[in-house]
Structure 1
Amino acid sequence: MRLVMWDVDHTLLAAGGVAQLAYAPAFTAVTGVAWQQMAFSAGRTDRDIAAETFAMHGIDDCEPHLDAFFTVFAAEFAARRELLATRGYVLPGVREVLTALSIRPHVVQTLVTGNIRPVALDKLAAFDLAGLVDFDIGGYGTDDIVRATLVRRSLERAAAKHSRVFDPAEVIVVGDTAHDVTAALANGVTAVAVATGGTSAEALAAAGAHVVLDDLSDVEAVVTLLGG
């Protein structure tokens, strides 16, 4: 079998800043603190982003707020989901690659993303991609601050659902940042990096990616690479 773990933002799609629009009202609703700014987010988990964002607003311990914040954030994002169609877009080759892999019986696709699960689901659903991945076995931004833990959680969930331990040689993490690469390497699985975000191909290679692609537009080659 082959287990492919996809990052979401700038790997599969661009969300057009909709998450940032939802973040501010959710933060103020839960904390009562006037909004200032959001921490840098690329490649990081939502728990990690929240911890820094709360600290930037003078709240050093965000843990008491997180459950409520993520619930309100998910609702605020869902209320703006229609904006994804006008502000966001699917990256080149993504729909075709996901579709081709979804009909290969030996391939399981899921997400390992810094997003919380409801937001990840809304992002993919907005572009009719949600049915192509298994959300139940993914790793999400609520799992941990450290992204490598998300890969491990996904491996555990996949093993439980499929009643088998996936060999590291069967597992591929696909992402656009050095965080995705290092998370894969920390778990001994293959890191495939795409230079479709803010990280250059050279930097992704320097981070240790086994394969670096400019994008996923060469559908046949990418399907062969990921699907075996």
Structure 2
Amino acid sequence: MIMKEKELTAAESLKLIERTIEQGRRDVAKASAQPLLVWGGLVLSTSLIIWLLITNTPNGEGGGRWYLLWILMSLIGGVYQYKYNQFRSVPDSIVSRTIGYMWGVFGISVFVLWAINICAITFGGISVRQVIPMTPTIILLMGLSVAVTGLMMNRLFISIIGAVACAICAYFSLVNQGVNELLCVAVTAVFTLIIPGLYLKFSNGR
């Protein structure tokens, strides 16, 4: 009789853990729709604006300075995310922590990659074409992050569409290096941020 009670207690504990994880998934999915749409809109609009500005800037007149708009976009997105987190915090769970850590690693990796390339060009005398290709690498990291996020939220659609789109866009950005890489970034934003955001928005409403 005692063994049976212990078995029931263990089974109930497992069910409680499963319910907690599932609730964490629902909480993250519900809170992620709007940030995905906002960040997707920022990345999409910024990449297209920079592409238009550079393609309409005469050669040799400093068209590369328009890339500084990415810094402005990051500041705007950071302020939005800070305000959003204050307004609507996600309950702490292993799902929310894991996803948060993963995107934190993504951001740090992008910064480290950028810093390595800048130092290599500035102090190492390496040409721009010899450094690590930023755009395809970032797109691949984005695809990995989105795929894991989708799996953590139990949304296989997000994982598949994000991983496939990023693999294709990373390839095209690698073989078409230059200003047209920005178009690959724009397409990546649509399939990894905007479409998943819309998917979560409407699926959460059901």
- Which TM-score tier does this pair reach, normalised by the shorter chain? 0.3 to 0.5
Q: Which has the higher strand share?
A: 1
Q: Which has the higher helix share?
A: 2
TM-score (norm 2): 0.33
Greater Rg over alpha carbons, structure = 2
